[in-house]
């Protein structure tokens, strides 16, 4: 059983390695990497924009309550 389990793990590792190689150097890999970069940048922009809105709203609320 140990031999069977070890062989299975080795085959799974080889398959994962091949999948990563294909994703990195295969057909369409350039488009995939561009799409991943665009998605990352969009996510960062949304997080930073949302944070700016929250901080701005909090500051506006604090300043408007002090003025009363």
Per-residue pLDDT of 16-62, as tens digits, reads: 999 888 878 877 778 888 899 999 999 999 999 999 999 999 999 99
Tell me, what's the pLDDT at 67?
A: 63
Q: What's the domain range around 27? A: 2-67
- Is the pLDDT at 10 greater than 80? The verdict is yes
- Is the pLDDT at 68 greater than 60? The verdict is no
34 contacts 42 by C-beta, under 8 angstroms:
no
Q: Number of folded domains in the chain?
A: 1
Tell me, what's the pLDDT at 1?
A: 66
Please list, residue by residue across 8-31, b when 16 or more beta carbons sit within 10 angstroms of its beta carbon and e when fewer do.
Answer: eeeeeeeeeeeeeeeeeeeeeeee
- In angstroms, the CA 52 to CA 56 distance is 6
- In angstroms, the CA 25 to CA 18 distance is 10
Report residue 63 as tokens.
Answer: 């300043």
């Amino acid at each position: 059983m140990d031999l069977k389990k070890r062989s299975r793990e080795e085959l799974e590792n080889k398959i994962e390695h091949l999948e990563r190689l294909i994703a990195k150097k295969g057909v369409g890999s350039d488009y995939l990497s561009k799409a991943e970069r665009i998605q990352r940048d969009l996510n960062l922009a949304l997080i930073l924009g949302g944070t700016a809105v929250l901080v701005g709203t909090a500051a506006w609320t604090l300043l408007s309550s002090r003025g009363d």
